[in-house]
Amino acid sequence: MKLELRGISKAFGSFYANKDIDLVVDDAQIHCLLGENGAGKSTLMNVLYGLYQPTEGQILLDGKPVEFSGPGDAMAAGIGMVHQHFMLVPVFTVAENIALGAETTKAGGMLDLQVTRKKIREISDRYGFDVDPDAVVEDLPVGVQQRVEIIKALVRDARILILDEPTAVLTPQETDELLDIMRQLKANGTSIVFISHKLREVRAVSDVITVIRRGEVIDSVSPESSTTELANLMVGRAVELNLHKEAATPGAAALEVSNLSVVNAAGSTTLDSVSFTIHEGEILAVAGVQGNGQTELTEAILGTQPVTGGSVKLAGKELVGKSVKQILRSGLGFVPEDRSVHGLVTQFSIEENLVLDLYDRPPFGKGISMNLAAIKKNATQQIEGFDVRTDNPLNPASSLSGGNQQKVVMARELSRDLKLFIASQPTRGVDVGSIEFLHRRIVAERDKGTPVMIVSTELDEVMELADRIAVLYKGKINGIVPGDTSREVLGLMMAGVSQEEALAQADFTKADNEPVEAKPVSEQDNQEGEAQ
């Protein structure tokens, strides 16, 4: 089935998320929409799937104009969509989820899942999905849950499949498996629209790459284009993709986490006796698929997550039991994973947000008095230093794009003398050019002697920044390895394979086929890993 979008625009008020977009997806083609977060990719696909109505333009299937009043119309026309956040009912079985909305009934109106089970097994066998129709979804690994979403679309005879950031929650091995599945689908005649901002994956699987920037099509290019060329198209200027940093020279142990445990409100253990150390002048990156305890770890250190056991010491002083304000005043700079909820007061001005945890301390304030001139001067300096795109520091933080909001949080936290810097998802929603800048600032903080902890679900970011990498799996540290450990080893560990088994299984080959030498794990890393 051939898909054609002609002059598609989608406006929200006076803001155009998509502007005059032309796009052609040929039969049995993998067509990638590449762009930064916020470029308008998902909005365009929501228009195609009937979730939004286009402000202007036309959709054609096999040359015939179509209009969709909702997803049901799109599915009936042969279009399926796998959303970035899965649309599955966790407590239902695979068969129940796939039957939902298209139920087959027996005499008397009873639900008949046998037909659905048969279809699931047929599709699973055809593509090697290995999905049990009677498995409960919440018990399945994330990668298998995504296969369930794909099966759900194929059961409904989707001939065009939209995959919206499909690798965001997958391990590297699961990502490779998904790319293989995409190739099989293409070979069986399915067209795929692949939405991504990850250059490595785009080049590996796409037939055509269309770059979208600020809601408009910039160009359509071949996957033979280099990562540098693609990055430049995404950003609109020359970008340095590789971070150049000197080897770390770690000093004394600064942050010592010992047997840290957290139990959530439901009684489930989300952190299980986690232990590690970060030294002055080094970056420890925490890797893992989202939902394996990363949030609980950072919030436990900050003091916003109740701790059920263990110790957190910074420069020899215990943090557990102290208030968040006391912990911040002890020298912690903290960038939360959700900037809009935990990092900013979006109704406050940009200049106010830049002193949120400093407003009552010199030079910004003393007692009940605030020094407005000093706050304004600080805002001017930080906005310029971090290239925050705004025409007035008195504008509310809500007026900024997501990437510029992140810069405000980073600027605030890095603007003072720190004894520890923690950043969770430090470049989420930030353009490629700004990622380059923020990574340099993080490394500069390390080079000042500050211990740094980075938590990121982007494995490329982890490998770029880390001097050492701690892998979290189901609330436990599955090992701590050198920063130049191969992607394959890290992926296996993220999936729960032990450090020793991962080292034994891996062929020490990076995705770009550059050989990677196996490095011995340090005595310190062994001790910390054994503590788990």
Would you list the DSSP string of 416-484? S--SEEEEESTTTT--HHHHHHHHHHHHHHHHTT--EEEE-S-HHHHHHH-SEEEEEETTEEEEEEETT
Q: What burial class does residue 500 get, using C-beta atoms within 10 Å of its C-beta: 0-12 exposed, 13-18 middle, 19+ buried? A: exposed
* Domain of residue 43, CATH code: 3.40.50.300
pLDDT at 532: 42
pLDDT at 32: 95
Chain centroid to Cα 408, Å, comes to 20
Q: Does residue 243 form part of some domain?
A: no
Q: Please, what are the averages of pLDDT over each run of 10 residues along the chain (532 residues)?
A: 95 91 95 85 92 95 94 92 85 92 75 88 86 91 86 90 83 84 92 89 94 93 91 82 84 96 89 96 93 91 94 96 94 90 92 90 86 93 89 89 85 93 86 81 95 92 95 94 93 91 71 37 44 43
Chain centroid to Cα 517, Å, comes to 28
Whether residues 468 and 482 fall in one domain = yes
DSSP letter at 246 equals P
pLDDT at 269: 92
Single-letter amino acid code for the residue at 75: M
Q: Does residue 248 form part of some domain?
A: no
Whether residues 97 and 134 fall in one domain = yes
Last residue of one domain, picked from the residues 384, 416, 448: 416
Last residue of one domain, picked from the residues 416, 437, 469: 416
Whether residues 261 and 385 fall in one domain = no
Rounded distance, CA 286 to CA 461, Å?
Answer: 11
Q: Does residue 110 form part of some domain?
A: yes
Q: Does residue 339 form part of some domain?
A: no
Rounded distance, CA 108 to CA 90, Å?
Answer: 28
Please report which helix (H) or strand (E) contains residue 414, including its range: none
pLDDT at 511: 41
Whether residues 349 and 462 fall in one domain = no
* Beta strand spans in 264-307 (E): 269-279, 283-287
Whether residues 144 and 215 fall in one domain = yes
Q: Does residue 519 form part of some domain?
A: yes
Rounded distance, CA 277 to CA 275, Å?
Answer: 7
Instruction: Provide CB contacts within 8 A for 381, sequence distance 6+.
Output: none
Whether residues 78 and 112 fall in one domain = yes
Whether residues 308 and 397 fall in one domain = no
Last residue of one domain, picked from the residues 201, 235, 269: 235
Whether residues 198 and 257 fall in one domain = no
Single-letter amino acid code for the residue at 63: G
* Count of the separate structural domains present in the chain: 3
Buried b (16+ CB within 10 A) or exposed e, 91-105: eebbbbbbbeeeeee
Instruction: Provide CB contacts within 8 A for 80, sequence distance 6+.
Output: 152, 153, 154, 156, 158, 160, 161, 162
Instruction: Provide CB contacts within 8 A for 125, sequence distance 6+.
Output: none
Whether residues 102 and 188 fall in one domain = yes
Whether residues 442 and 519 fall in one domain = yes
Please report which helix (H) or strand (E) contains residue 113, including its range: none
Q: Does residue 245 form part of some domain?
A: no
Q: Does residue 112 form part of some domain?
A: yes
Instruction: Provide CB contacts within 8 A for 145, sequence distance 6+.
Output: 86, 88, 137
Task: Decide if 248 contacts 282 (C-beta within 8 A).
Answer: yes
Single-letter amino acid code for the residue at 519: K
pTM: 0.73
Q: 142-155 vs 172-187: helix axis angle to the nearest 10?
A: 20
Q: How many other C-beta atoms are found inside a 10 Å radius of the C-beta of residue 77? A: 19
Q: Which two tokens stand for residue 392?
A: 């007035």
Rounded distance, CA 53 to CA 73, Å?
Answer: 12
pLDDT at 429: 65
Whether residues 426 and 311 fall in one domain = yes
Whether residues 141 and 23 fall in one domain = yes
Rounded distance, CA 69 to CA 52, Å?
Answer: 8
Dihedrals phi, psi of 313, to nearest 5 degrees = -115, 130
Q: Does residue 336 form part of some domain?
A: no
Chain centroid to Cα 27, Å, comes to 30
Which of 453, 477, 246 has the alpha carbon at shortest distance from 337?
Answer: 453
Supply the range of the domain harboring residue 350.
Answer: 345-416
